[in-house]
Amino acid sequence: MGAAQSNECASSPEELSSVLAERFATKCFTPLELTHFKDNFFSRALEQGGLRYWNEKILSDFLGIPDGIYTSSHEQSLDAGPVIFRMVSYLGAFPFQNTLAPSVLTFEAMVKVVVLLTERYGKALKRGHKDRTKLLFGSLADVGRKKPPAGFNGEFTFKDSETSAAHSHTQGFSIDEPANDEYDEDEDDDLALAALESLDAIEVFKHDHRVDKTVYETRISIDTFRRLVMLLLVIAPLNPSESLKGYTSGLDVRRMELVKNEADSIIVAFSPEESDGGISYKTFARTISLSLPYLFDPLTALFEHMLFSKNLNLSQRRQKDLASETKQEESEENEEHPSPTATLTLPGSFESAILTPTLTSHLSFFLPSTSPDINILRSSISLHPVFSTNAHGSSLTYFSHHVLTWQSPTLLILQGSLADSPNEDLITLGAYIPETWKTSISTSGSSSKTSDLLSCLFQLSPKHMLLPGNPSTSATKPNTPTAYFSPNTGIAIGCKIPAPSRTHQTYPSPHGAGSLIIDANLETAEFHVAPFGHDGTFLPAANASPEDRPTKFKLDLYTLEIWGIVPDPEASFSADPNLSPVEIQRAKWEFEAREAERRRNINIKAGAGDPATESARWLLEAAGIIGNEARYAGGRV
């Protein structure tokens, strides 16, 4: 039956859902991908009443999702299999998830799941867009809904094959009592509308869409969301060609404690309210879009595994090689996979004391690469060690020598604890700086920009908070650079820089929604945050409330690190294609060292009082080669 005939005959949600799955399969996958998909599904599928389907165990086993792993407090921390199964059962009913969910995982249902989670629907839906937030929220919401049938894990029984088609979907969720009435009545589900428009089935959709408004009245429980976020932290660097076991097989109690703590820092950003049962849609949508845009990226790589079948690859080899090659592949899967930190950072003068694999995964949930559509772990960029207080000490001379000569974006990250407080819990802060650093002897013009991406100031623990860069500040207000350095006042991020004075020392001042000030001894840091202020370098955080008050806290600084962004290890910053970015940067550092040595040999003090000598001295001071300003440029008199 042709597509047009199928549309004419389809009059029920079940029939329309099947037709949409057929369209997704033909439009969104290549013939080779579809062949691999079919082999993966049907080679593992159960059969009941003539219907082939997957249950929760088959799904978890195929994806490699481990069973629960316990922390030292005997709390089951990583048990994401039921959460993933719940999400998939909801998405498999698209776009009638309110009347057909939870869906039995038939081949048609799994086609829609993979298309939605890998964002491949653009080829099939004219109005489709990348905002999956509402669907993802609905798939996770479990407060305010009646639970699916007891023990539901994808299993079902039919009396005969004639009734199996009519009951291929179990009865949908329903709502008990509204728990959150803060939603926009006029908001449309553009993705679902695009799907139904493509099938000329808007009228059928309208009935289901009236029920769909109830998605705003539900909440995601904290326990459900924690289990998912912990899985995402563990598998953040996963590629479609990699086995999930490489990331989950080496988890121990200590690592799980770190993962759980990082997940809790992220969950706090959603302002969960225990009394109301969890995370509301309004908070979820706003936090995801503005503060954690790449949080669900690991699911894309995870479900792209459906499009690669090892069976088809092995079938092309001789039978006598199957046993040895299968054994080799199993051995490779059991090998410890490189941590996301190892794959992201380049070797250099120090190893990070801050960038653990878990924290690096956290960074990938909001830090973009060279493109705003790709997170930092999905691209070819790397981080090169530039400066660390652990390796280089607290000297601003070393800081200026290493940092001020770096000609690409940088990542600043630090850890400390609250000053004068018995609580020594770590606080982790950072900033992405796309511009070259501005110094006290820089010209009055705005600092050069080496990236099209906006800056950001962030806190990772104990609460995730992202203050995005203000696109209108750096170009129009040169006195508010993203990053500023002075040998007398230290480091300032997002501050207002006063005009220099001949009579007294001036200091950067906090400005706008967020600022970070580090003293000249690199011993303390002050973090300023306000729920308002759109005239500064950074805008207010997504989870800021107008009722919040400006806050400031002072840290005893333990570690400060600066990492240079290398767009591509094989690319070049200059016209010389034979040099890598790191080689060019090392050449700059070596040149600075030679210049510093040459300045030491200048005996400018000889002939004091001579007009020619005094004139030469004035020129050198103006150029920052000698005098006070030379201290952080690498020279001294």
Which of 540, 370, 351 is CA-nearest to residue 450? 370
Question: Rounded mean pLDDT of 534-542?
Answer: 89
Neighbours of 616 (CB within 10 A): 15
142, 343, 374 from 378: Cα distances, Å:
31, 11, 6
**Segment among 181-195, 407-421, 479-493, 607-621 with least mean pLDDT:** 607-621
User: What is the structure's pLDDT at 207?
Assistant: 55
Please tell me the predicted confidence (pLDDT) of residue 588. 64
Q: So what's the pLDDT on residue 550?
A: 87
Contacts by 224-228, CB closer than 8 A, 24 or more apart: 224/83, 224/86, 224/140, 224/142, 224/278, 225/140, 225/267, 225/270, 225/272, 225/278, 225/279, 226/260, 226/263, 226/264, 226/267, 227/77, 227/78, 227/79, 227/80, 227/83, 228/80, 228/83, 228/84, 228/140
pLDDT at 144: 67
pLDDT at position 354: 96
Helix/strand/coil (H/E/C) assignment for every residue in 122-171: HHCCCCCCCCCHHHHHHHHCCECECCCCCCCCCCCCCCCHHHHCCCCECC
pLDDT digits (tens, 9 = 90+) for 443-461: 443 445 556 678 999 999 9
User: Which residues lie closer than 8 Å to 312 by C-beta, 6 or more apart?
Assistant: 35, 36, 39
Which range scores top for mean pLDDT: 191-195, 589-593, 616-620? 191-195
Beta-strand (E) ranges in 288-374?
Answer: none
Whether 475 shows a pLDDT value over 70: the answer reads: no
Check residue 163 and give its pLDDT.
Answer: 39
pLDDT for position 172: 37
Of 382, 371, 373, give the one whose Cα is nearest residue 343. 382
Whether 340 and 360 have beta carbons less than 8 Å apart is answered as yes
Mean pLDDT of 58-66: 91
Q: What is the pLDDT of residue 367?
A: 93
Q: Which has more pLDDT, 186 or 506?
A: 506
Q: What is the pLDDT of residues 214-267, one digit of tens each?
A: 666 789 999 999 999 999 999 999 988 888 888 887 777 888 889 999 999 999
Cα–Cα distance measured from residue 361 to residue 376, given in angstroms and rounded to the nearest whole number: 9
Place of tokens 């200059």: 574
DSSP string, 529-569: E-S--SSSSBPPPTT--TTPPPEEEEEEEEEEEEEEEES-T
Query: 277-315, pLDDT tens digit by residue?
Result: 789 988 999 999 999 999 999 999 999 999 999 888 654
Helix, strand, or coil (residue 284): helix
Q: Which two tokens stand for residue 631?
A: 């201290």
**Tokens found for residue 555:** 């840290």
Query: In the predicted model, is pLDDT for residue 210 greater than 80?
Result: no
Q: 63-92: per-residue pLDDT in tens?
A: 988 876 665 555 656 789 999 999 999 999
Q: What is the pLDDT of residue 175?
A: 31
Taking 70 as the threshold, does the pLDDT of residue 363 lie above it?
Answer: yes
Q: How far is CA 517 from the centre of its chain?
A: 26
* pTM, entire model: 0.81
The token duo for 523 is 């011993």
Mean pLDDT score across all residues of the chain: 78
Instruction: Tell me the C-alpha distance between 237 and 338, whole Å.
Output: 10
Q: What is the pLDDT of residue 121?
A: 86
CB atoms near residue 441 (< 10 Å): 14
393: left (phi over 0), alpha (psi -120 to 50) or beta: left
d(CA 588, CA 582): 10
For residue 260, the model assigns a pLDDT of 92
Q: How many helices (H) and strands (E) does the chain have?
A: 25, 17
Pick the more confident residue, 321 or 36: 36
pLDDT value of position 299:
95
